[in-house]
Amino acid sequence: MASQQDQVVDLFIIGGGINGCGIARDAAGRGLSVSLAEMNDLASATSSASTKLFHGGLRYLEYFEVRLVREALIERETLLVAMPHISWPMRFVLPYHKDMRFEGETPTSKLLNMVMPWMKGRRPAWLIRFGLFLYDNLGGRKILPGTATVDLKAGPEGKPLQDRFAKAYEYSDCWIEDSRLVILNARDAVDRGAEIMVRTKVLSAERVDGLWEMLLENRETGEQFRRRARMLVNAGGPWVGDVIRNTVRSNSQESVRLVRGSHIVTKKLYDHDKCYFFQGEDGRIIFAIPYETDFTLIGTTDADHPEPGIQPVCTDQERDYLLRFASGYFKKPVTVDDIVWSYSGVRPLYNDGAKSATAATRDYVLKVDETGGAPLLNVFGGKITTYRKLAEHALEKIVPFFPMAGGAWTARVPLPGGNFPVDGVEDLVRSLRARHVFLDDRWARRLVKAYGTEAADVLAGAEKVEELGRHFGANLTEREVSWLIDKEYARSAEDVVWRRSKLGLRLSAAEVAALDEWIRNACSLRHAAAAAQ
């Protein structure tokens, strides 16, 4: 029997973010043999540092990116059906006042300034309403409600805002648990035959006798080994350029623009469950979003980032910008003392030569390189809302090299745990609590919104809370952590409390350290048992 190193897979994917895992899932479901290598944890970079929204991108209409917005709007409902546990509808409140001015320039503002120079620096109400009309109708909306006008003087939406805001427009978009989306795509890819390797770095890739030959290193053990493939996909995200230059040593002229987006998480700033869309004087926008029940998420910034190897962090300047921006809307100023956490990610945008990070395109670009034999697909840009369409379009580039591959299939096909109706969360919570009487509503709801129908599998057979094993805090138990190790590639406390969940907001440093020690011991025992077989 041939070893894995002797075997040749159809597709080898570099990068375990949403693009890489989405392509792996789609390709495996079409009958292609697929291997994927991620040098760190799945979703460890950009794909766990988003603003957590499935949205069409209302502001992209100002840049005339109508195709991208339309595709994203259509995808919102396609994705809601496939993953109702980790995504759900949300209403967005856009406060308006007629004297609001901004200094930023967009293609739309330039046109308005030419036609109506007296409006310079303003987004008139009719323009916002027209944009929202397009937003309501470009995507064939069926599940999500349309735009409405809100009286901020009378409704709860106006209570936390400054008195100068009397009217708002309210429209629909969606929330997504971004890093869980990546994990579930990876799991579904494996269920369909793919190989997923975490903490495995591709040291080199070269064309040999019409195939790609990769040298890889397991970063946990130091072991080096090889893989061969008929086609290579570079979905390295922020490292896509590094892979081109240093891993495959290609002469491609394409490049990415690294744009840092930073967020702050504060104590809960208001009581209702809607998101705010705030316009800034610099032409940018930020969101203030209900987050993890007890918090508010505020973001994001746009700043050029020097290189992928530099860890992105929310700088003091970005933090102060977000605080100042949000305080321009809320009655009670948001201060440094309100912040409980901050995070930052690097968006690998296709370098279209835009003057500013804000103006750089959010669209994706797929380039096939056949020079030298075995094909290479480089993936540039993309946004989380359109990851499934990006994967479909990637497969359109890939399938000509594999004529026996099946057709497109992923639309509305549930991810693991998502096989229930869009409005079925409450029924699942009730069912889970009925089966496991030790659960309170908050605990059961967290499990359902993480695992969907698989929450029952996580707790299978447990009649008493003691049967779930050790408790690490915030209702995180040994049973759940074992599931994350065995099913979801978790190898450290950071994987568990910041990517598989956001329980890091609730656990103390001592609790996280104890969890990390337990996970590392558990993983060592699993490795030893596997080696003994």
pLDDT tens-digit profile of 425-438? 999 999 999 999 99
CA angle 194, 411, 42 (to 5 degrees): 40
| Predicted local distance difference test score (pLDDT) of residue 371 | 85
User: Most confidently modeled of 58-62, 122-126, 396-400?
Assistant: 396-400
Residue 112 predicted with pLDDT over 50: no
527 band by pLDDT with thresholds 50, 70 and 90: confident
Cα 240 to Cα 312: distance, rounded to the nearest angstrom: 17
Q: Which one has a higher pLDDT value, 353 or 259? A: 259
Q: Supply the DSSP symbol for 49.
A: S
Give mean pLDDT, residues 382-397. Answer: 94
Inter-residue contact 485 to 520 (CB < 8 Å): no
| Predicted local distance difference test score (pLDDT) of residue 510 | 98
Residue 394 predicted with pLDDT over 60: yes
Helix (H, G, I), strand (E, B) or coil at 330: strand
Question: Per CATH, which fold does 8-46+179-255+362-401 belong to?
Answer: FAD/NAD(P)-binding domain (3.50.50)
| Predicted local distance difference test score (pLDDT) of residue 437 | 96
Mean per-residue pLDDT over the chain, rounded: 91
Inter-residue contact 382 to 390 (CB < 8 Å): yes
| Predicted local distance difference test score (pLDDT) of residue 355 | 55
Inter-residue contact 30 to 73 (CB < 8 Å): no
| Predicted local distance difference test score (pLDDT) of residue 210 | 94
Which residue intervals of the chain bear CATH 1.10.8.870?
A: 425-532
Residue 162 predicted with pLDDT over 80: yes
Which residue intervals of the chain bear CATH 3.50.50.60?
A: 8-46+179-255+362-401
| Predicted local distance difference test score (pLDDT) of residue 387 | 95
| Predicted local distance difference test score (pLDDT) of residue 123 | 67
| Predicted local distance difference test score (pLDDT) of residue 14 | 98
| Predicted local distance difference test score (pLDDT) of residue 516 | 98
Helix (H, G, I), strand (E, B) or coil at 233: strand
| Predicted local distance difference test score (pLDDT) of residue 55 | 85
What homologous superfamily is domain 425-532 in, according to CATH?
Alpha-glycerophosphate oxidase, cap domain (1.10.8.870)
pLDDT tens-digit profile of 482-518? 999 999 999 999 999 999 999 999 999 999 999 999 9
Residue 468 predicted with pLDDT over 70: yes
| Predicted local distance difference test score (pLDDT) of residue 119 | 37
443 band by pLDDT with thresholds 50, 70 and 90: very high
| Predicted local distance difference test score (pLDDT) of residue 2 | 46
Give mean pLDDT, residues 456-480. Answer: 97
Cα 443 to Cα 463: distance, rounded to the nearest angstrom: 15
Instruction: Give yes or no for a cis peptide into 300 (omega within 30° of 0).
Output: yes
253 band by pLDDT with thresholds 50, 70 and 90: confident
Residue 111 predicted with pLDDT over 50: no
Helix (H, G, I), strand (E, B) or coil at 256: strand
What homologous superfamily is domain 89-175+257-350 in, according to CATH?
D-Amino Acid Oxidase, subunit A, domain 2 (3.30.9.10)
Residue 183 predicted with pLDDT over 50: yes
160 band by pLDDT with thresholds 50, 70 and 90: very high
pLDDT tens-digit profile of 288-324? 999 999 999 999 999 999 899 899 999 999 999 999 9
Residue 325 predicted with pLDDT over 90: yes
pLDDT tens-digit profile of 10-22? 999 999 999 999 9
Cα 281 to Cα 271: distance, rounded to the nearest angstrom: 27
Cα 391 to Cα 410: distance, rounded to the nearest angstrom: 9
| Predicted local distance difference test score (pLDDT) of residue 282 | 82
- pLDDT above 70 covers what percent of the chain? 92
Q: Which long-range contacts (CB under 8 A, 24 or more apart) does 333-342 make?
A: 334/266, 334/269, 334/298, 338/266, 338/267, 338/269, 339/264, 339/265, 339/266, 340/265, 340/266, 340/267, 340/295, 340/505, 341/264, 341/265, 341/504, 341/505, 342/262, 342/263, 342/264, 342/265, 342/313, 342/314
Cα 487 to Cα 458: distance, rounded to the nearest angstrom: 10
Nearest to 275 by CA among 51, 86, 77, 121: 51
| Predicted local distance difference test score (pLDDT) of residue 532 | 84
| Predicted local distance difference test score (pLDDT) of residue 184 | 98
| Predicted local distance difference test score (pLDDT) of residue 58 | 81
